[in-house]
Amino acid sequence: MKFKILLLLPFVAAGLTACHDELEETVYSDLTDDTAFTSAENAQAAVDAMYAPLQQIYRDPIFQANDGCTDVCFDAGVTAFEVLNDDAIRTSTHLTTCWDNFFQITSRANIVIDRVGAMDEALFGEEYDKAQMIAEAHFMRGYAYMQLTDLFYQVPLVLSSDVDVKSKLPYANINDIETAIETDLKAAMSLPETYASHDDAGRPTLGAARGFLVRLYMRQAGRMRLSGGNADAKWQQALTAVNEVLQMEGSVYTLQPQIWDVFNPDTDATLYNNELMFAIRANDNITSAAWDLGLMFTNWDYDMGWNLFLVPLHQYWSFDAADQRRSVMLVTEFPNVYNTADNPAAASYYYAPASLADVSTVSKSNLDASGNLKPGESYGTIGELTNVFTRKYEYHNSFKYTYRTKNNMPVMRLADMILCKAEILNEINGPTQDAIDLINRIRSRAFQDDNHGLRLVDYTSKEALRSAICDERAKELGLECVRRVDLIRMGLWKDRLETYFAGIKAIADMKAQNENKPAGYYDNDWRVYPTNLTDNDIRRYMPIPKRETDYNPELLNARTF
C-alpha cells in the first residue's frame, strides 16, 4: 500500500482547529513509501491525518447509531435505526460511514506507530515531540477500537501497518480486542494533561486516556454481571481508574457553573471550557475545520436548521420544570424565525404540549370557548410541536445559509466521570451516601440549588439506584452518543426501549382521543416499533454493513454475544 492513500487529508482534522502553518505548501498526496517519513514535518502530517475521519463520523452517523435507536432521540423521518430494522440499517450510509472512518483511524494510527516509531530521533529536533506523536496514535487506535466494539461488539483486529489491504479477516475475540484497547490506552499515559494552544485543543490528553479506561472497565464489568459472572474485580479496576480521573478535578478539569456553559458556542471561555475531556471541535472561521453539526439539531422555523434529531416528548416530560437541562437546554416553544415586527397578525408561535393530556390541544389555544378564532388570530398562528429539540449543538446563523458552525461535540466530559463513579460505587457497595452525593453534584448544577437532590432513604437496592443513575445519565448526557452503550452496560436496554415504545402508543391514543377520532386512528404511529425485544437481543448492537459481508463472507458468521 502506498502511504499517499493514507495521507490525503492532513489538514481536515476535525479535532484540530489548525495545523502547523509550515506544512501547508507540502503536497502530501505525492508521498510514497520511499519519500514519506523522512522528516518531522511529514511525521506530524501523518499524526494530524488520524483526526480527519472524526468529522464524518460525528455528523449524523454516530448519532443515528448511538442515540437515534434509543429513548432519548427521535428522528423526524422515523429511520431504520429507531425501529431497529437490521436489514435496512446494514445498507445505511450512516453505518458504513462509522465502519469506514473508525477503521481509517486505526489504519492511520498503525502507520504512525510503525513508521514514525522507526524514524531517527535526530529528525525531530526541539519543535516536534516524537514520543507524543506515538502516544497520540496509541490513544486514537484504542479509542477507535473502543467505538467499533461499542457499535458492533466484534470486529477484525489489525495492529500493524504491514497488512494486505485485500485481506478478508475474521472477527477477533472480544477479550483480545479489549486487551489491545487497554494496552493502547496505557501506552497513551504519557500524553500531556493540557495543551498550551487552543489549536491543539482537539488532541487527546492524559485525562482522556484515563477516562476511556474507566469506560472500558465498566463495559467489561457490566457484561460480566449480565452473564451471571462475578464482576467485583473489574468494578474495582474501574473505581481505581475513575479516581485517577477525578484527582485531576480542580487542577485540570472543572464542572462548569451552569450546563449551558459546557455547550455555548459564542465565547472562547465556553468553547474551550475545562469540563471537556475529549471533544470533536470546529472553528467557523476555518473552512477545513467548519462543519454542520449545529444544523442537525435545529428546527428550520427556529433558526433554519435541518431538524434531523429531536428529543421525544416523553423525555421532555420526564424533566422537572426547574431543571435547567429542560428550561435552558431544551427548546420547547419559540416564535417562527420569519416573524416580522411590522406584521404581528401573521406571526406564528410553536408550543410543545406540557403533558400527555395536552397532546393535540395546544393549537386550539387561539380559539375561544365556542371554537371560534379569537380577535386578531388566524389559523396556524399557534402550532403544536410533536417533539422538542436540544440546544447542545445550537445553530446561530439565521438567514446566513452557511454550513459553518463552531459547536463542540463532547465525546467525554467531567460530569460523565462523576456519574460513572456513582454507578461504580453502587455496583460495588449498593446504595451509599457517597454515590448519592456524586449524583447530587450534577443535580445541584442542573437546578442551581441543593433542594432537588436524591435521598438515600429512597433507594433500598442496587437495582433501584442503578435505574435512577440510568435516568440521570439520560438527562445529563442525552444526545452525546452514549445512551445505547449505557443501556447495554446497565442491562436496561429492553426495559427502556419497551417503555419508550409504549409511550409512543400512549401519545397516539391521546391524540386520537383529543381530536375526537375513533380509537386506533393513529395506530400506525406505533405499530412500526418492534414488540419482540429480548434481554440478550442482537439488536442492541449494529449489524455489520452489508457491503462488508458481501466482500468478506467471514463476517457473516455469528458474533458471540
> Does residue 161 lie in a domain region?
yes
Beta-carbon contacts of 401 under 8 Å, excluding residues fewer than 6 positions away, are 304
pLDDT at 347 over 80: no
Cell of 364: 386550539
Strand 382-384 and strand 74-75: the pairing is unpaired
Cell of 390: 436540544
Residues 338-357, mean pLDDT to the nearest whole number: 79
In the block, cell 490513544 appears at 139
Q: What is the CATH number of the domain that holds 135?
A: 1.25.40.390
Span 87-116, pLDDT tens digits: 999 999 999 999 999 999 999 999 999 999
* 457: enclosing H helix or E strand: none
Amino acid 415: pLDDT = 98
Residues 4-8, mean pLDDT to the nearest whole number: 32
* 73: enclosing H helix or E strand: none
Amino acid 59: pLDDT = 87
> Does residue 112 lie in a domain region?
yes
pLDDT at 321 over 90: yes
Residues 182-188, mean pLDDT to the nearest whole number: 98
Span 407-437, pLDDT tens digits: 889 999 999 999 999 999 999 999 999 999 9
> Does residue 26 lie in a domain region?
yes
In the three-class reduction of DSSP (H, G, I as helix; E, B as strand; rest coil), residue 239 is classed as helix
> Does residue 490 lie in a domain region?
no
Give the whole-angstrom CA distance, residue 406 versus residue 270.
Answer: 11
- 206/346 same-domain check: no
Amino acid 366: pLDDT = 66
- 352/230 same-domain check: no
- Judged by average pLDDT, the poorest of 58-62, 98-102, 164-168, 553-557 is 164-168
**Is there a contact between 283 and 40 (Cβ–Cβ < 8 Å)?**
no
88 half-sphere exposure, CB direction, 13 A CA radius: 10
Q: Which residues pair with 500 in a beta bridge?
A: none
> Does residue 408 lie in a domain region?
no
In the three-class reduction of DSSP (H, G, I as helix; E, B as strand; rest coil), residue 329 is classed as coil
Residues 212-225, mean pLDDT to the nearest whole number: 98
| Cα–Cα nearest to 416, from 434, 394, 436, 438 | 438
- Judged by average pLDDT, the poorest of 91-95, 164-168, 457-461 is 164-168
Count of structural domains, the chain: 2
Q: How many CB atoms lie within 10 A of CB 10?
A: 27
Spell out the SS3 assignment of 141-205. Answer: HHHHHHHHHHHHCCCCCCCCCCCCCCCCCCCCCHHHHHHHHHHHHHHCCCCCCCCCCHHHCCCCC
Beta-carbon contacts of 166 under 8 Å, excluding residues fewer than 6 positions away, are none
**Is there a contact between 417 and 439 (Cβ–Cβ < 8 Å)?**
no
At 340, the pLDDT band (50, 70, 90 cuts) reads low
Span 498-539, pLDDT tens digits: 999 999 999 999 999 999 999 999 999 999 999 999 999 999
> Does residue 282 lie in a domain region?
yes
**Is there a contact between 11 and 24 (Cβ–Cβ < 8 Å)?**
yes
Give the whole-angstrom CA distance, residue 189 versus residue 241.
Answer: 12
Helices 93-111 and 40-49 pack at an angle, to 10 degrees, of: 150
**Is there a contact between 405 and 294 (Cβ–Cβ < 8 Å)?**
yes
| Cα–Cα nearest to 444, from 482, 476, 408 | 476
Furthest-apart CA atoms within the chain: distance in Å: 86
Span 352-379, pLDDT tens digits: 999 999 999 887 666 666 666 666 666 5
Is the pTM for the entire model greater than 0.85?
yes
> Does residue 558 lie in a domain region?
no
Range of the domain at 221: 3-294
At 258, the pLDDT band (50, 70, 90 cuts) reads very high
Give the whole-angstrom CA distance, residue 526 versus residue 513.
Answer: 15
**Is there a contact between 284 and 406 (Cβ–Cβ < 8 Å)?**
yes
Domain stop point among 266, 294, 322: 294
pLDDT at 232 over 70: yes
> Does residue 518 lie in a domain region?
no
pLDDT at 344 over 90: no
- 74/20 same-domain check: yes
Across the chain, what does the average pLDDT equal?
Answer: 89
Domain stop point among 326, 356, 391: 391
pLDDT at 43 over 50: yes
At 34, the pLDDT band (50, 70, 90 cuts) reads low
pLDDT at 561 over 70: yes
- 158/258 same-domain check: yes
Beta-carbon contacts of 179 under 8 Å, excluding residues fewer than 6 positions away, are none
- 145/183 same-domain check: yes
- 302/271 same-domain check: no
Amino acid 550: pLDDT = 96
pLDDT at 443 over 90: yes
- 203/216 same-domain check: yes
Give the whole-angstrom CA distance, residue 161 versus residue 112.
Answer: 9
Beta-carbon contacts of 553 under 8 Å, excluding residues fewer than 6 positions away, are 168
Tally of residues, the chain = 561
At 17, the pLDDT band (50, 70, 90 cuts) reads very low
- 381/280 same-domain check: no
- 279/221 same-domain check: yes
Amino acid 15: pLDDT = 37
Phi, psi of 349 (to 5 degrees): -140, 145
In the block, cell 449524523 appears at 60
Handedness of CA 16, 17, 20, 22 (dihedral sign): positive
